[in-house]
Amino acid sequence: MSNETFTTPGKIIAVHLNYRSRAEQRGRIPAQPSYFLKPSSSISATGDVLEQPAGTELLAYEGEIALIIGERTRRVSPAEGWSRVSGVTAANDFGLYDLRAADKGSNLRSKGGDGFTPIGPGVIPTSDLDPAALRVRTWLNGALVQDDTADTLLFPFGQLIADLSQLMTLEPGDLILTGTPAGSSVARPGDVVEVEVDAPTAPGAPTTGRLVTTITAGTEPFGDFGTKPSVDDLQRTEAWGSAQAAGLLPAEPQPSAPAFELTPELRERILSVGVATLSAQLRRRGYNEVSIDGVATNKPGAKMVGLARTLRFVPFRPDLFESHGGGFNAQKRAFDCVNPGEVLVVEARGVRETGTVGDVLALRAQVRGAAGIVTDGGVRDFDIVASLDIPTFSQGPHPSVLGRRHVPWETDVTIACGGAAVQPGDVIVGDGDGVIVIPTALVEDVVESAIVQEREDTFVAEMVAAGEPVDGLFPMNAVWKKRYLEWPGV
């Protein structure tokens, strides 16, 4: 991947429908490609904000693979078309469904507004790249909403270039937006939309990096000297992706268990018992590999409980660090997006010979309201991190930077930390004895049993302190069990 300052393209050509998933969602599969133009003034860059015009309702995002024409192209065959592409980048083809009726199919106003075509941040060179290996993904507020690959296109890249070049000359720097897969929907002020194009199966797994756009609310109303925004239920259905998503039909029932909630009351019950007791209860249920081994707290006496948010590092390799280590990488995204009450759990493969978190990122997690940080790697700026309020469990201090041993790779996936499998949403509990992972389906039962066990342990300790021998008392035989049931603490 190369980071580039993009020159203003002479033409931006966009394809209407090209992914089978999107065409099937729309209920029509075109026999041949069709196109529309977007003005060059609609280009914007990663990190820019996009204003949703005042008085509008349906600003839709569309993550796309954008082709960058590398040489003057006229009348080439489909087999030759791909060779005229110098690179690919990520694009977001924003559209305002409120103005589709005014455009009569041209999309000029609905898709041509200032900032309606973010591109970047990097370019993947096309030399020795199989175009079918390209993938496009889109996230809305951190949730993956679009995920498709170029091998599902109705009209391959070479065919698009051949078709267009029959009639017009494609110039170097021209952009072709190649269509969006299913999953396009509506963004609202305050939302953050991210698009990434990569080739995960190609050598080096090249990527453009994430193209980030934040939506803001416009304040300037439309004047009376042109067609004003208007929507109907058809436009709402197409913008949102379905009538259910648009709120026009009841949502289809989805058989699923009630969502787990770590309520304040449940949090307090968990904190009332020790990790060792919780571990014993999990072991009785066959869960032996739930401790995150090798980590210790930097705040003796501190206890921690929260829902897991995960971050995964892979072993260092120069090309992978070049593609994934810079910019708003997975490590920064994880610390910048952790929510109040969550515990950020980091898979560092047990490698402690470099830092996986330092003072700035730990402070960011604290400011975000995170309940704690767990890493089976090292911590930089250890004394400063220890002085913060947020508890951090790690293998200990190390002064080296991330790029010595690790590449920040991905977030919010199942990871292995300290020998334990951790899924996003698992309950993470830590104290002076260490850290354990509790699957949400077991939490209520395990915690209730742990409370009973600690009450019994308190009774046993009281008896031992009074001079009683442990034989028959620990564990309790029938005689001691009877005395326990008469104990005032029960």
Q: Is 233 helix (H, G, I), strand (E, B) or coil?
A: helix
Whether residue 468 is predicted with pLDDT greater than 70 in this model: the reply is yes
Greatest CA span in the chain, whole angstroms?
Answer: 98
Instruction: Report pLDDT for 472.
Output: 83
Whether residue 241 is predicted with pLDDT greater than 60 in this model: the reply is yes
Whether residue 490 is predicted with pLDDT greater than 80 in this model: the reply is no
Whether residue 442 is predicted with pLDDT greater than 60 in this model: the reply is yes
Whether residue 249 is predicted with pLDDT greater than 80 in this model: the reply is no
What mean pLDDT is predicted for residues 403-411? 89
489 close to 459: Cβ distance less than 8 angstroms: yes
Other Cβ atoms within 10 Å of 454 Cβ, number = 16
CA distance 63 to 94: 9
Compute the mean pLDDT over every residue in the chain, rounded to the nearest whole number.
Answer: 91
Look at residues 137, 141, 163, 168 and name the one whose alpha carbon lies nearest to residue 150.
137
CA distance 50 to 456: 60
Instruction: Report pLDDT for 4.
Output: 54
How confident is the model over 133-191, as pLDDT tens digits?
A: 999 999 999 999 999 999 999 999 999 999 999 999 999 999 999 999 999 999 999 99
How confident is the model over 180-236, as pLDDT tens digits?
A: 999 999 999 999 999 999 999 999 999 999 999 999 999 998 888 888 888 888 888
Instruction: Report pLDDT for 339.
Output: 92
Whether residue 255 is predicted with pLDDT greater than 80 in this model: the reply is no
Local confidence band at 252 (pLDDT 50, 70, 90 cut-offs): low
CA distance 458 to 452: 10
Look at residues 395, 413, 191, 173 and name the one whose alpha carbon lies nearest to residue 292.
395
Alpha helices in 75-178 (DSSP H): 78-81, 100-103, 108-111, 157-165
CA distance 110 to 10: 20
Provide the token pair at 339: 């929510």
Instruction: Report pLDDT for 257.
Output: 55
- pTM: predicted TM-score of the whole model, two decimal places: 0.54
What mean pLDDT is predicted for residues 285-290? 91
Which among 7-11, 20-24, 103-107, 287-291 has the top mean pLDDT?
Answer: 287-291
Instruction: Report pLDDT for 328.
Output: 80
Spell out the domains of the chain, with CATH numbers in brackets: 2-220+227-240 (3.90.850.10), 264-443 (3.50.30.40)
Cβ-in-10-Å burial (0-12, 13-18, 19+) of 362 comes to buried
Look at residues 153, 151, 136, 148 and name the one whose alpha carbon lies nearest to residue 194.
136
Instruction: Report pLDDT for 253.
Output: 60
Whether residue 2 is predicted with pLDDT greater than 60 in this model: the reply is no
229 close to 56: Cβ distance less than 8 angstroms: yes
Quick one: what percent of the chain has pLDDT higher than 90?
70
427 close to 308: Cβ distance less than 8 angstroms: yes
How confident is the model over 29-51, as pLDDT tens digits?
A: 889 999 999 999 999 999 999 99
If you write DSSP's letter for every residue of 398-412 in order, what string do you get?
----GGGTEEEEEES
How confident is the model over 299-342, as pLDDT tens digits?
A: 899 999 999 999 999 999 998 988 888 878 899 989 988 999 99
Provide the token pair at 199: 């080739």
What mean pLDDT is predicted for residues 118-126? 95
Instruction: Report pLDDT for 67.
Output: 97
